[in-house]
Structure 1
Amino acid sequence: MRSRYSAYVLQNIDYLKLTWHSTTCPDNFGDMDSIKWLGLKINQVNEDIKHQEYFVEFIARYKDSNQNGKADKIHELSRFIYEDNKLVYIDGEFLV
């Protein structure tokens, strides 16, 4: 999770694609230049060994210059699974 956050900060699209499940990876990552990332807090990590799923609840803070630089956050429960013997992001649920 931390490496994916760093990839967003560095705008490393190749790494994001490498760590994203092939069935849910977007073709376009939008206007990444407008986002300034301010920090990442990982709240909890859980695993479901039976289904080989892993969950990370996090809060990522950012400012978006397209929104007048107003600070905001993403609070998500991300799900990771294995694809080609590597753990990748498949989807997430936004939390309030």
Structure 2
Amino acid sequence: MKCPCNTLKLYNDCCKKAHQNIHSVATAEILMRSRYSAFVMANIEYLQKSHHSSTRPSNIEIKEILTWTKSVEWVKLEVLESSENYVEFKAYFYENGALNIIQENSFFEKENNHWVYKNGI
């Protein structure tokens, strides 16, 4: 299977490593890519684990996220810029027959010795 974050790579050689062991994630960009793949695959457990404890969604919010992520058709991820703890990206998806784009400037930091998503604007 091709990896959702990069169709030039196989999932087994890309995001699967992060999904199985978050401590293997070496950079903020790799974490962001693995989170995108987790959205595509509705891997809520990984999304929670890779989210900073101070900004992690509540159980009610995570159920809403799960419902939403299963209701859309994910198209592709485009990384626009990346640095040590920052990634700007566009995530493309179809919802109700219309193409939509999430563009975000995401911020990451280390918590419990691994990278986590802190917040985005």
Instruction: Give the TM-score category using the shorter length.
Output: 0.7 to 0.9
TM alignment of 1:53-72, pairs within 5 A: 54-64=85-95, 68-72=96-100
String of CA shifts for 1:18-58, please: whole Å, max 9, x gaps: 100011011223122211110000011112xxxxxx00000
Q: Which runs of 5+ in 1 are unaligned?
A: 48-53
- Residue 41 of structure 2 is matched in structure 1 by 10
Q: Counterpart of 1:38?
A: 75
Higher helix share: 2
2:118 corresponds to which of 68, 84, 90:
90
Q: Identity of counterpart residues, as a percentage?
A: 42
Unpaired stretches in structure 2, ≥5 consecutive residues: 1-31
Counterpart amino acid of 1:33? K
TM-score (norm 2): 0.66
Partner Cα distance (1:6, 1:46) in 2? 20
- Regions of 4+ moved over 6 Å: none
CA-atom RMSD, angstroms? 0.9
- How many residues are paired up? 84
Q: Which structure has more strand as a fraction of its residues?
A: 1
